[in-house]
A and B are shown apart, each in its own frame.
Chain A
């Protein structure tokens, strides 16, 4: 089965840059999506199609993808950015979708 690999946790000081990676064999050909989930809330899309930002998402959120790795970057992280972040993509067939295991971002 297809897997996306994320680090379990990332810690950053307020105002610093947090980078969350997502590794998967199909990422060179398939888009990555990034979801933010705060405690007790439904996930929110923060990046789609590797690097596009939905309306309403702060500019400090950006995405990139190179080879088998996609990266979510939070530039100038704020305390309110503390959340779990999940990457999401498909396998090479495009028919099976998968979430990464999630990365807990702590801003302190």
Chain B
């Protein structure tokens, strides 16, 4: 069974940093392209970024609102996906999901609240 479990969310002050994790199981993680998607309270889905498999170059791309502030990484030996977030803003407050690109599997999300 495919499982994606996000963690690391919490309350952080504007300008602060946070690292989200996504533990993957039940599929061949190293071959998968992975994305982070977020959803602000009461709002729609917003793509945050995508990291390709290492076999496909490991390329990372990001949405304009987070480019330069957020960084995705992966540890294929541990089946882990990460999102390192810096210079956080109040508008980054959202439920953050990890997902497998193309397969449609999502985790249940981890909540990030940016507030003073």
Would you call B108 and A99 a contact (CB within 8 A)?
no
B90 → chain A closest CB, angstroms: 21
Question: In chain A between 24 and 56, which residues have their CB closer than 8 angstroms to a CB of chain B?
Answer: 33, 35, 37, 42-45, 48, 54
The digit string for B32-48, where 1 denotes a CB below 8 A from any CB of A, is 00010100000011110
Interface residues of A (CB under 8 A from B): 1, 33, 35, 37, 42-45, 48, 54, 84, 86, 88, 95-102
Would you call B45 and A54 a contact (CB within 8 A)?
no
Query: Do A98 and B97 form a contact, CB below 8 Å, given A42-B106, A48-B102, A54-B104?
Result: no
The digit string for B88-116, where 1 denotes a CB below 8 A from any CB of A, is 00000000010000111111110000000
Contact of B44 among A48, A86, A97 (CB under 8 A): A86
Interface secondary structure of B, over-half rule: loop
Closest B residue by C-beta to A46: B104
Would you call A95 and B61 a contact (CB within 8 A)?
yes
Q: Any chain A CB within 8 A of the CB of B64? A: yes
Q: List, in ascending order, chain A residues with CB within 8 A of B46's CB.
A: 99
Q: Any chain A CB within 8 A of the CB of B74? A: no
Would you call A99 and B47 a contact (CB within 8 A)?
yes
Would you call A37 and B45 a contact (CB within 8 A)?
yes
Interface secondary structure of A, over-half rule: strand
Contact of B106 among A33, A43, A102 (CB under 8 A): A43
Distance between Cα atoms of A99 and B103 in the complex (Å): 16
Q: Any chain A CB within 8 A of the CB of B68? A: no
Q: List, in ascending order, chain A residues with CB within 8 A of B45's CB.
A: 35, 37, 43, 86, 88, 99, 102
Q: List, in ascending order, chain B residues with CB within 8 A of A86's CB.
A: 44-45
Distance between Cα atoms of A86 and B46 in the complex (Å): 10
Q: List, in ascending order, chain B residues with CB within 8 A of A97's CB.
A: 35, 47, 50, 61, 63
Q: List, in ascending order, chain B residues with CB within 8 A of A88's CB.
A: 45, 47
Would you call A98 and B44 a contact (CB within 8 A)?
no
